[in-house]
A and B are shown apart, each in its own frame.
Chain A
């Protein structure tokens, strides 16, 4: 029973990691962009939500809803003006530009919000849980996180496979040159993809801020978990990303159960074990 609790906890944590990773997965799958600033962009979104709750007194969920179009616009502009210029066969330009961006965002947030730990407050709901009997209970917020992750990935998949925009996404991912010949403006497509990634990042930021303390420096660690989930899942597979998030979440909670200091380490070891066996991830959709 003790282990069942741990496993449930791990799967729920995996939901949070899948949310961190879903936007990254979309961007990486469509344009092969290694966005090292993704974690910091999530933290940026968390601070945007925090500002709306403290200045205007909004509930965090409403604040996140208001922050979403702003983050979409920010992502669109970021991609259109900056990141599109770095894309190509060479890995170094996007790597350095997003590294630079990560440093700028982190220190910009430090300058505005200081290094204090913050949290999004929800009152009683923060600690509410559902009793499953037999000493098992699951938190409402973790459950909501996993539910949101499932919904996000379902919606992204519908977008990806059922709409004209999704067709353009898949086409540019599979063969950029042919897609261009067919009249697709890939710069615009990439910018929309980054905008959507930032929408998802805002949802991730909401749960990040509710579930734990955050400060301007925690972005890179979230980025690593997100990238691990993306790579485990395989290029371009959003359900794979969810599976990757759950694997990392499970490994971390099981590791922490054995020794609290092994939590993060266990997640990394699980990632390395998967990529040694399956270097292209578990469910790759596209060729890299």
Chain B
């Protein structure tokens, strides 16, 4: 979409700090792109240039420019970065620098763009707070338009950035880091967090109160080159109240709000007619939990089967898997099937509130094999609170049992059965019940990985793991504070970009940057006391601290907490009362 540059009130460039192939697949930016362009503003896009393009740009002295009209980022009024993962932060600095925009807020003048951020990273943006003017906590559909209206008004009235920011303080969900002052204790903890002037002491996240009725865009982008997820996407629902205690998405996107099948169908019919996509992805945090999944599926099949459009359902839970459901969403060859038991023993699964019994997992695996699948992938985390070698042993046992099951069921084709165990390292995240928990050290991560590596050997078994140093860095920034800004700059100056790409990750440079800026990794991975001031205490996802603490204590005792959708009552997380919201189910039966 190309809008006339000179005939809009405000120009925004939406920036994804990773490659086009990744960034294009992100639904959130695609939605905002449509909502902004519908108004008297212009939204364009930019992605992080790969090393070869960066080199060419720097050699030719060209600034980083937008996809649509090739204007330099510096020529826009607003640059909006999405903060999807901590390890994309060096790319943000690099992109600003490539466009000639001073990376630090204090070095930018009146003519430089306002740099804003949104996405899950906004729930603890402290490590990057020196580089941004504003963060939006929570859902952006309405909020972005309110923010842009204030900026446009301010510009038209000749207000300075300071004046505009004063006005922006009033927008629900907006966090302006310069209005908060942090003091530290001698032992490196936070002594106090002071709001300055009229800033609210706590910024509450924004939610779209009429999410289920809010009009969906009438258009979508179609890429020339193939991104990782090359398809139309629609959220069946927002939020997830399963209550897994490690999961930040499950905490910060509450409450659950399901769209009606009719809304979803109408959107998809329109978007397919406008884009010609051949595949539809029904996305959500746990899509098979959608109340009306069967009805929706039947209707969509009726709509689209004659057009040869495939439906896909990502993120299947072990306990909501049925071979019938999976088969319906899978056309053609049976590739691999992925499940996430997360932990190796029932005890540990209760600790994290991922309440799957061993029997459920085995039954599901059996059903999958019986339905013809030969390759199963199992996701686990290592380093979860209270994990012992017994739990790691449980991963091995489970994988071997599933392999044996598959071999038995596939008989003569037993040799083709493959079970892959993928283990990532648990990183405690802000606004989750585990936000106070320690993260395991580099050496301990390596030991636990080796423990699994040594045991998950043999025909039909595969083990994959994450670079342990990457998880360390992710852990530092996930629960980081403002003092890490210097470290980030240093690492970027040392040449770090694309840190989430294992082949481009330079731990040695990061070690140098951490040392040069006097940062101890352990100081960020350590356990926190309940009464310690956390760097994100002035930012709220609507969850009460009491709820998070209670959940953490229930974890310690292995007590499970039920999904609030299960009609067995509210887990009193606080979201609904704090934000004036309520869970909504597609059937209309509100809890």
A, B bound:
no
| B contact set with A: CB distance below 8 Å | none
